[in-house]
Amino acid sequence: MPVILDGKKVQEAIQASLKPRVERMAAGLRPPGLAVVLVGNDPASEIYVRNKVKACRQLGIYSEKHLPAADVSNEDLLFLIHSLNARPDIDGILVQSPLPDHLDTDQVLLAIDPAKDVDGFHPLNVGLLVANGSAPRACTPAGIMKLLEHYSIPVAGKRAVVVGRSDIVGKPVALMLLHANATVTICHSRTRDLAAECRRADIVVAAIGRPAFLTPEHISEHAVVVDVGINRLSDRADVERIFVGDAEKLAALESKGSVLVGDVHPAVHPRCQAYTPVPGGVGPLTIAMLMSNTVACAQRRLGLEGGC
């Protein structure tokens, strides 16, 4: 039987380790502070932000939301970020993506103080990741590494294949696996014989953004499969094709209007060594590592041990 890698359990363990750190900071100096900037009213982004603020509240981290209108100018958004950079009570700044098309995403990212970049996306922090230096790490990839560690899945000496080369997940998780002494291959849309590349892997990280893209022909029986994809299916034919004979999924489609599937086909699950479910696998770890980054940035800014 394959092992189900439960991200919620790992999230709970991470948060349990953070809570006493936050309590000590709040009692001695002040709690860590996180500012979340959400431009416009994208429904998915609003859910993400709500969950992040909820996690802060549960841990005792101070948080505040900034909600510029969808038509905010680039200049005004940059002014907001610079004002947050100057705030001594704010240790982390997160600008929720995606931003409206008229805004310069690269310029906004560069405006965030690298010491407050809890997403780990600033070029300085990306460079420190490449050099294996101390800096905030991108949350989803860092969460994947925590997941593997929690379940005592060996990485050193193993062959890892990362399917997807995004700056948010694919590239940083490949670097983290490399620093953990895995032999890493990054695959993408132009990789020749992707199935053969994946079958050689002990660890497969699927982050390509295509529903049920990796099938049993891609995965060996000894593989650990980490599925980063979160794809929403609303067409009944797609649900019936991917979740063959699954009455529960069809019922969920009827009641909710959609169901979620990862980048890995459900038929892979019975044949691999371990896998992350969707939902409930990698997703909860992204917010947990955001909280971890916020606490570490606060400790560093306050000159306390344990800072990033």
Residue at token pair 């907001």: 80
15, 52, 158, 171: which one is catalytic? 52
CA distance 295 to 297: 5
Torsion angle in degrees (nearest 10) through CA of 175, 180, 182, 184: 0
119, 202, 227, 263: which one is catalytic? 119
Question: Torsions phi, psi of 160, nearest 5?
Answer: -115, 135
In terms of DSSP bridges, do strands 259-261 and 231-233 run parallel, antiparallel, or are they unpaired?
antiparallel
Tell me whether residue 52 is one of the annotated catalytic residues. yes
CA distance 284 to 201: 25
Contacts of 38 (CB under 8 A, 6+ apart): 45, 46, 49, 65, 66, 67, 68, 96
Tell me whether residue 202 is one of the annotated catalytic residues. no
Pick from 187, 264, 197, 270: nearest CA to 229? 264
On whether the CB atoms of residues 276 and 282 are closer than 8 A, the answer is: yes
Rg (CA), the chain: 20
Peptide bond just before 114 cis, omega within 30 deg = no
On whether the CB atoms of residues 276 and 10 are closer than 8 A, the answer is: no
11, 15, 91, 96: which one is catalytic? 96
Contacts of 32 (CB under 8 A, 6+ apart): 22, 25, 61, 62, 91, 92, 294, 295, 297, 298
Residues serving a catalytic function are: 52, 96, 119
